[in-house]
A and B are shown apart, each in its own frame.
Chain A
Amino acid sequence: MNCENVKEQLPEWLNEQLPAAERAVLDDHLAGCPDCRQELNATRQLWQRLENIPTPEMRPEVRTQFYAMLGTFKAEETARQRSRWTALVHRLLPWWKPQAALRLAYSLLLVAVGVAAGYGLQYWQMPPLAYKQQIDTLSAQVVEMRQMMMLSLLENPSATERLRAVSFTKDITDVDGRIIDALLTTLNNDPNVNVRLVTLEALVELAGDARVREGLVQALTRQESPLVQVALADVMVQLQERKSIKPLRQLLRREDTNDLVKAKLAQTIRELS
């Protein structure tokens, strides 16, 4: 053992933590080395004297102050715990460890997979969106078929079939230009008076459309049948269509117009103007 080793063991020696065997070796060295002996003794003396430095007493107020602080803290804490989230976080925080994070992530993943699988299964069994699209497509096809059928039925030689065709327009929700044209053509050209009357009725339903109103006004001069003429005149009053006054006057001046119809036309003109 040399003097360097002695210095290394100084702290344990001071604290009296040095194992007995090592202490014996140290004492051996000290016996034969006055330098070390002197140094260690000086150090030990100082170490022991340190103990003489007194620690003053605390003032008793410190205890009172501590309990006051504790009371305030507790009051603040209960106030804070009213928002339960903070309390939950405080409770959970000590449990927060990296392994726990991994486990939590794993369980969340499992839940997510479960939810995804559940949704997937539902879609697979009854996909609502595709279903709805299919229904939409089908209903659009049905409407189109009705229109087609109506248009072709209007060409049918049988007056009954043509009547049916006109009655279809009531079931067609969005009437397009083709149907209006077909109806106006029927109104002007159909050989059967009944068909023309029904067509007129159907067109009155669609009078919101400007083309329909115009077509009706133009139809006035083209009609030969007194029945249709009177019906048209009524419609003009009903729609309060002032543009019809001119064709009504033309019709009134025509020699081949029925007298009864003329009386009706005169009345209509009066009502409109």
Chain B
Amino acid sequence: MDNALMLKVREGDLDKMGLLFERYHRELFGFLYHMSGQPDGSEDMVQTVFYRMLKYRHTFTGEGSFRAWMYHLARNVLADFRQKHKRSAQQYDLANYAEKIAGGLAADEALHKEQELAALREALASLSPDYREVLVLSRFQELKYEEIARVLGTTEGAVKVRVHRAMQELKKFFFSIEQ
């Protein structure tokens, strides 16, 4: 279905890109947001990814899924973004949450949850992009390992190993932050 739409775009029916935007912009934004931690930057990147889909539409062969192709382009855009903002590359945008952690009242249930969430975010942000990527793709984007392997251009086995190591790392960071 999505492949058929994208093939139509490739053949010159550019309006069909509107349908693909409606269907995928949230998912794409989610991926870019969890990878970069920057909502504004992610909105810009969503735009860039869709622009590149139009510009390089003839590289979509229809052999793989549209989704895999989208993530492939998104990763390139993300790499460019990281290159451009190298100084703040690893800086997850935590400004909003730092205040909340700093606030006293630890006994308050809601606040405790908020703190826990902030710790989790920070742990995720501390992961290397390679580890963060497999977690975001499998946990948030709900891609199957097989699909992730296609997006990353590797084997399913390698993806599993990476997910395992990423979870180990995440655990280590999370518990060190929480304590």
Residues of A in contact with B (beta carbons under 8 Å apart): 7-8, 10-12, 14-15, 17, 42-43, 46-47, 49-53, 55-56, 58-59, 62-63, 65-67, 69-70, 73-74, 77, 90-91, 93-94
CA distance A14 to B138 in the complex (A): 10
Query: Is the beta-carbon distance between A70 and B43 smaller than 8 angstroms?
Result: no
Q: A46-B171, A50-B139, A66-B50 are in contact. Are A55 and B29 (CB under 8 A)?
A: yes
- Indicate which residue in A14, A53, A56, A67 contacts B163 across the interface (CB closer than 8 Å): A14
Query: Is the beta-carbon distance between A11 and B164 smaller than 8 angstroms?
Result: yes
CA distance A56 to B139 in the complex (A): 16
Q: Say yes or no for B5: interface residue by CB 8 A criterion.
A: no
Query: Is the beta-carbon distance between B164 and A8 smaller than 8 angstroms?
Result: yes
CA distance A63 to B37 in the complex (A): 20
Q: Say yes or no for B160: interface residue by CB 8 A criterion.
A: yes
Main secondary structure of the interface of A (DSSP, over half): helix
CA distance A194 to B84 in the complex (A): 108
Closest chain A residue, CB of each to CB of B174: A46
Query: Is the beta-carbon distance between A12 and B121 smaller than 8 angstroms?
Result: no
Chain B, residues 1-24, CB within 8 Å of chain A (1/0): the string is 000000000111011011001000
Q: How many positions in chain B have a CB within 8 Å of any CB in the partner chain? A: 43
- Indicate which residue in A12, A43, A53, A69 contacts B117 across the interface (CB closer than 8 Å): A53
- Indicate which residue in A14, A63, A65, A70 contacts B167 across the interface (CB closer than 8 Å): A14
13 contacts between A and B (CB under 8 A): A8-B160, A10-B163, A11-B159, A17-B144, A43-B171, A49-B116, A50-B120, A56-B33, A58-B46, A62-B47, A63-B25, A66-B25, A69-B51
Residues of B in contact with A (beta carbons under 8 Å apart): 10-12, 14-15, 17-18, 21, 25-26, 29-30, 33-34, 39, 43, 46-47, 50-51, 54-55, 58, 61, 116-117, 120-121, 124, 135, 138-140, 144-145, 159-160, 163-164, 167, 170-171, 174
Query: Is the beta-carbon distance between A94 and B61 smaller than 8 angstroms?
Result: yes
Query: Is the beta-carbon distance between B14 and A77 smaller than 8 angstroms?
Result: yes
Query: Is the beta-carbon distance between B164 and A66 smaller than 8 angstroms?
Result: no
Hey, which chain A residues are within 8 Å of B55, CB to CB? 73
Closest chain B residue, CB of each to CB of A93: B58
Hey, which chain B residues are within 8 Å of A47, CB to CB? 139, 167
Q: A8-B164, A55-B30, A70-B54 are in contact. Are A50 and B124 (CB under 8 A)?
A: yes
Hey, which chain B residues are within 8 Å of A14, CB to CB? 163, 167
Closest chain B residue, CB of each to CB of A71: B14
Closest chain A residue, CB of each to CB of B167: A43
CA distance A63 to B124 in the complex (A): 29
Inter-chain pairs besides A62-B46, A66-B21, A93-B58, 6 sampled, C-beta below 8 Å: A10-B164, A46-B120, A46-B170, A47-B167, A55-B34, A70-B50
Hey, which chain A residues are within 8 Å of B140, CB to CB? 50, 53, 55
Smallest Cβ distance from A79 to chain B, in angstroms? 13
Q: A15-B138, A42-B171, A46-B170 are in contact. Are A90 and B58 (CB under 8 A)?
A: yes
Hey, which chain B residues are within 8 Å of A65, CB to CB? 47
CA distance A90 to B56 in the complex (A): 10
Query: Is the beta-carbon distance between B144 and A49 smaller than 8 angstroms?
Result: no
CA distance A77 to B163 in the complex (A): 42
CA distance A74 to B164 in the complex (A): 45
Query: Is the beta-carbon distance between A11 and B51 smaller than 8 angstroms?
Result: no
Smallest Cβ distance from A12 to chain B, in angstroms? 7
Q: Which of A47, A55, A67 has the most CB of B within 10 A?
A: A55
Q: Which of A8, A12, A56, A67 has the most CB of B within 10 A?
A: A56
Query: Is the beta-carbon distance between A58 and B163 smaller than 8 angstroms?
Result: no
Hey, which chain B residues are within 8 Å of A12, CB to CB? 145, 160
Hey, which chain B residues are within 8 Å of A51, CB to CB? 139
Query: Is the beta-carbon distance between A94 and B14 smaller than 8 angstroms?
Result: no
CA distance A127 to B65 in the complex (A): 61
Smallest Cβ distance from A22 to chain B, in angstroms? 13
Smallest Cβ distance from B52 to chain A, in angstroms? 11
- Indicate which residue in B21, B61, B120, B138 contacts A49 across the interface (CB closer than 8 Å): B120
